[in-house]
Amino acid sequence: MSDEVEHGSDGAWSPKVVAFVCNWCTYTGADLAGTSRLQMAPNVRVIRLTCSSRVNPLFIIKAFERGADGVVVSGCHTGDCHYSTGNYYARRRFAILHDLLEFMGVETDRVTFSWVSASEGNKWQEVVNETTARIKELGPFRTLQGQKGVEL
Amino acid sequence: MTHRFLSHASLTALVAELVAAKTRVIAPVHATDDPEQVDYRPIQTLEDAALGVRLTRGSLKEFFLPPTEVLLHYKQTKEGIEIREVPTVAPPQVILGSTPCDAAALEVVDKVMGWDYRDELWFGRRDASTIVSLLCAAMDSTCFCSATGLGPDSFRGSDALLVPVQGGYLAHVITPKGEALLQGYAEADENMKASAEALQGEARQKVENNLTAIPAEFSAWLASNFDNPIWKTIALRCHGCGACAGVCPTCHCFDIVDEHDTADEGVRRRNWDSCQTSKFTLHASGHNPRGSQSERFRQRIQHKFSIYPSRFAEILCTGCGRCTRACPGGMDLPKLLDELMTLAKTEAKGSDTQGSSL
Amino acid sequence: MKELQELARKLLNDGTVKVVIGYEEGTRGVRPAFITDAKQADKLIFDKRCVQNLAAYLNPRRKQVAQLGTPAVVVKGCDARAVAGLIREKQIERDKIVIIAMRCGGVLENPETDSELTSKTVSVRCGGCDVREPKLHDHLVGELPPEPPVNNHRVEQIEALKKLSSADRWSFWTNELSRCIRCHACREACPMCFCVQCTADKTQPQWIDPSATPRANRAWQTMRVLHQAGRCVDCLECERACPEHIPLGLLASYVADSVERRFDYVACEDPAVAAPLGVYKTDDDEEFIR
């Protein structure tokens, strides 16, 4: 992903959102949203992982570093994890990450955690649209990249 | 070498003019996190500077070899790889109020930077800099500049050296660069020389007793005592953190890395590195010739006081004492050198020695 | 101190341990000591200047210490938590070390400049300490001094930071971390950073750029403190080691508070109690998850 600021067809800045989703629930739910032809903002790039607990906080940090304006992390509802307990561990990890990012000056609205099941196509649509709308309001991430290749 | 008088007013005016001409002026200033400490930082007026208060926490190194710097930009296109090197001509800078140990360190490092390959980035900044040092009077028990052949009024590495006198400074003008800088600001010295010399003498006395001068034979003793059992116990408390290398004015090791912004574009950087870190000599095979801290610490002493001297006839140390001040593990370099030099002397006399009490 | 010195002498003389890791008078204040000769045991001291966390020397990566043989380590309560952490995470075995716990009345934040314990000079972690008589020990030594004064400096700093806007907090950290030179002294001095290969050293792929740039510095410090979540014992060795005087304790403290608030866990001396990020409760709070 380049750090070039993207623009929508109307010329306005368009946020880049990266979504780390679990294969079994959210990815399937997102697929359902797609096959149901639900209207969704085109800003979310989906990255499929085996489980929400595969999400290393580094992924989120790296996404912001490399041009994301927002991040979504989504998995199965607790109790429904394909691997039984993955999302329980993930939930603890995300809680600390959420608090720390806030402390370090990242607006909490930029990082969205959600549980979206395989049948919740509508919920995925909401997550995508609402996240995109909120990040549009927040503006581009306070990126430390500056221009390409310039001394950081 | 001449000496002149530089009044406070003249120095203030000189700084103002330099800043107006977009020359970066760097001087010790009170630290933002702890006003009792001072750091070298760019200043806008002479008032911003805290001259002669105490030794700065960091050295001048970052203004000549930054903690990280871009060497080139690369971009991969359909036609091939485009490389854009960074300019080696640096914007002008004046260092004001540096300690003689820091100024001398630059000349010591010049030797390796111009040895088998001329480091254009280093010399670009060296050429663009004028260094006006200040007599050091704020030494503490950790300082040992005189032991390394320098002193609080050493001229080495400076273009001019200021000594506080009534109304301003006695300015020892050392190089043509120093002359060019002070031209029009420094006046003829009437009779400040005596009081300046007295101050210089006092300063030298304060630091001379901290450590005896390091003899030339020490380098050879170190080389032939590479396997001395003392190395196994001398650095037990060392964390291998590398803080010493960070604050040291003569440590200059760096690591080169490529960092990409996108899949086909990025920069090549060089970053400060330290032989004290565990992976410094880690081979791709997994073998590490310096696998424990005792070996890494031995390397630090050997490099500074034996290997570098054997190559460049210079100790890679100017006795500033920062390594000791910064060390979280309580290592004390002048004390350690004293113990090693004593060991060297007693071994030369052929007497039995106990293990190190360090 | 006599009690400590005699104990050390005995442990060395009867061969229970080969080295006593403690504190001694250095040339610039108190420094870590490695006593291998019983005759040197009277160098051992313990007072309010003993701020270092000696548990760091038990790290098996420190070959030069490990090869001395079975160690005894002098610990305060806070340090004992780090020893417990190392045992909990299987870095050392409980029966391969001897723990000499000291009854403690607090330590100075800056022993080089201060000499009396006041609410301004005492370390920020000492106030309200509940391990002044460490429970994890083979020997418990010394007289129990009075309770330490409370230094609110860090709590106040954190509260002030919390009140700032997101943008201002971002600027605060960008500014503080701009001094970071990526020397990793914070990592090396930390007793809980024992990984043979740190995430930051991994080059395939390079998750965290090794350069001292604003974005990489931020990534590094964020990751390090996250990896310490639930494991950090608040010894502040990271802050003490930092040659650039970055207030790393603020980050460590904030995350520790977060862990306590969310999981009702404080770094503890009992190696049998699991670290919070390695376990879960089915009813853990998830108000932040949609």
Tell me the per-residue pLDDT of A46-97, one tens digit each, with 9 for 90 and over.
999 999 999 999 999 999 888 899 999 999 999 999 999 999 999 999 999 9
- Residue in chain B closest to A147 (alpha carbons) equals B261
> What's the domain count of chain A?
1
Average pLDDT over residues B101-107: 98
Given a cut of 90, whether residue C44 has pLDDT beyond it is: yes
- Chain centroid to Cα B158, Å, comes to 13
Contacting residues of C for A58, CB less than 8 Å apart: 199, 207-208, 219, 223
Contacting residues of C for B325, CB less than 8 Å apart: 28
> What's the CATH number where A128 sits?
3.40.50
Given a cut of 90, whether residue C215 has pLDDT beyond it is: no
Q: Of B33, B68, B293, which is closest to C213 when you measure between CB atoms?
A: B68
Percent share of chain C, pLDDT over 90:
88
Structural domain range at position A118:
17-138
**Residue A147 is assigned to a structural domain of this protein:** no
Q: Locate tokens 């609402």: which residue?
A: A130
What burial class does residue B171 get, using C-beta atoms within 10 Å of its C-beta: 0-12 exposed, 13-18 middle, 19+ buried?
A: buried
Confidence band for B273, pLDDT divided at 50, 70 and 90: very high
Residue boundaries of the structural domains of chain B: 2-207, 217-349
Average pLDDT over residues B222-234: 94
Which tens digit of pLDDT belongs to each residue from C118-165? Answer: 999 999 999 889 999 999 999 999 999 999 999 999 999 999 999 999
Q: What is the DSSP string of B189-222?
A: -SS-HHHHHHHHHHHHHHHHTTSPPPPTHHHHHH
- pLDDT value at position A7? 63
CB distance from C183 to chain B under 8 Å? yes
Percent share of chain C, pLDDT over 70:
100
Using an 8 Å Cβ cutoff, are C5 and C44 in contact? yes
Expressed in angstroms, the distance from the first to the final Cα of chain C is: 57
Strands A70-75 and B68-77: unpaired
Name the strand (E) or helix (H) holding A128. Answer: helix A121-138
Contacting residues of C for B239, CB less than 8 Å apart: 56, 185, 188-189, 241
Q: List all residues 6 or more positions away from B265 whose beta carbon is below 8 Å from its beta carbon.
A: A148, A149, B73, B74, B75, B76
Strands C19-26 and C71-75: parallel
Q: Whose CA is closest to C178, among B33, A54, B256?
A: B33
Distance (Å) from the alpha carbon of C270 to chain B's nearest alpha carbon? 26
Query: Is A105's CB within 8 Å of C280's CB?
Result: no
Look up residue A95 and give its two tokens.
Answer: 């809680």
Contacting residues of C for B278, CB less than 8 Å apart: 61
The least confident of B185-189, B204-208, C189-193 is B185-189
Q: Of C216, C218, C226, which is closest to A96 when you measure between CB atoms?
A: C226
Using an 8 Å Cβ cutoff, are B321 and B334 in contact? yes
Gap between the Cα atoms of C72 and C83, Å rounded: 12
Q: Of B69, B262, B267, which is closest to A2 when you measure between CB atoms?
A: B262
- pLDDT value at position C203? 87
Contacting residues of A for B266, CB less than 8 Å apart: 149
Using an 8 Å Cβ cutoff, are C172 and B220 in contact? no
Given a cut of 60, whether residue C175 has pLDDT beyond it is: yes
Q: List all residues 6 or more positions away from B280 whose beta carbon is below 8 Å from its beta carbon.
A: B253, B273, B274, B290, B296
Beta partners for B26?
Answer: B42, B95
Q: Of C32, C33, C212, which is closest to B271 when you measure between CB atoms?
A: C212
Given a cut of 50, whether residue B267 has pLDDT beyond it is: yes
Q: Of C214, C251, C290, which is closest to A152 when you measure between CB atoms?
A: C214
**Residue A6 is assigned to a structural domain of this protein:** no
Enumerate helices (H) and strands (E) in chain C, giving the number of each: 9, 6
Query: Is C162's CB within 8 Å of A127's CB?
Result: no
| C210 secondary structure, DSSP code | -
CB distance from C166 to chain A under 8 Å? yes
Beta partners for B134?
Answer: B162
Which other chains touch chain C, taking contact as 3+ CB pairs less than 8 Å apart? A, B
Q: Which of residues 89-148 of A touch C (CB under 8 A)?
A: 89, 91-108, 112-115, 127, 142-145
- pLDDT value at position B351? 46
Query: Is C184's CB within 8 Å of B233's CB?
Result: no
- pLDDT value at position B2? 85
Which tens digit of pLDDT belongs to each residue from B73-101? Answer: 999 999 999 999 999 999 999 999 999 99
* Residue A147: φ, ψ to 5°: -85, 165
Average pLDDT over residues C77-90: 96
**Residue A144 is assigned to a structural domain of this protein:** no
Distance (Å) from the alpha carbon of A62 to chain C's nearest alpha carbon? 7
Distance (Å) from the alpha carbon of A141 to chain C's nearest alpha carbon? 11
Q: List all residues 6 or more positions away from A1 whose beta carbon is below 8 Å from its beta carbon.
A: A16, A18, A45, A66, A67, A68, B262
Given a cut of 50, whether residue B188 has pLDDT beyond it is: yes
What burial class does residue C184 get, using C-beta atoms within 10 Å of its C-beta: 0-12 exposed, 13-18 middle, 19+ buried?
A: buried
Indicate left, alpha or beta for A145 from its phi (over 0: left) and psi (-120 to 50: alpha).
Answer: alpha
ipTM: 0.91
- Residue in chain B closest to C53 (alpha carbons) equals B329
- Residue in chain A closest to B84 (alpha carbons) equals A149
Contacting residues of B for A149, CB less than 8 Å apart: 70, 73, 261, 265-267
Beta strands in chain B (DSSP E): 2-7, 24-30, 38-43, 68-77, 80-85, 93-98, 129-134, 160-165, 168-173, 187-188, 254-262, 265-272
Strands B160-165 and B129-134: parallel
- pLDDT value at position A148? 38
Gap between the Cα atoms of C32 and B225, Å rounded: 26
Average pLDDT over residues C26-40: 94
- Interior/surface letters A124-140, b for 16+ CB within 10 angstroms, e for the rest: bbbbbbebbeebbebee
**Residue A112 is assigned to a structural domain of this protein:** yes
Beta partners for A48?
Answer: A21
| Residue C118 CB neighbour total at 10 angstroms | 11
Which tens digit of pLDDT belongs to each residue from C155-172? Answer: 999 999 999 999 999 999
Look up residue B200 and give its two tokens.
Answer: 């210089």
Gap between the Cα atoms of B251 and B264, Å rounded: 34
- Residue in chain C closest to B354 (alpha carbons) equals C37
Distance (Å) from the alpha carbon of B167 to chain C's nearest alpha carbon? 33
Query: Is C189's CB within 8 Å of B241's CB?
Result: yes
CB distance from C245 to chain B under 8 Å? yes
Contacting residues of C for A103, CB less than 8 Å apart: 161-162, 169, 251, 254
Contacting residues of C for B330, CB less than 8 Å apart: 26, 28-32, 52
**Residue A77 is assigned to a structural domain of this protein:** yes
Average pLDDT over residues B28-47: 93
Average pLDDT over residues C182-187: 94
Q: Whose CA is closest to B280, among B255, B317, B250, B316?
A: B255
Q: Of B70, B262, B265, which is closest to A151 when you measure between CB atoms?
A: B70
A–B CB contacts, 8 A cutoff, strictly below: 18
Beta partners for B70?
Answer: B269
Average pLDDT over residues B288-312: 96
- pLDDT value at position B263? 83
Confidence band for A102, pLDDT divided at 50, 70 and 90: very high
Query: Is C280's CB within 8 Å of A89's CB?
Result: yes
Given a cut of 90, whether residue A9 has pLDDT beyond it is: no
Distance (Å) from the alpha carbon of A2 to chain B's nearest alpha carbon? 5
Query: Is A62's CB within 8 Å of C288's CB?
Result: no
Given a cut of 50, whether residue C40 has pLDDT beyond it is: yes
Confidence band for B32, pLDDT divided at 50, 70 and 90: confident
* Residue B111: φ, ψ to 5°: -60, -50
Q: What is the pTM of this model?
A: 0.91
Query: Is B245's CB within 8 Å of C65's CB?
Result: no
- pLDDT value at position A124? 97
Query: Is B261's CB within 8 Å of A145's CB?
Result: yes
Look up residue A50 and give its two tokens.
Answer: 């085996």
Gap between the Cα atoms of B264 and B269, Å rounded: 16
- Residue in chain A closest to C219 (alpha carbons) equals A61
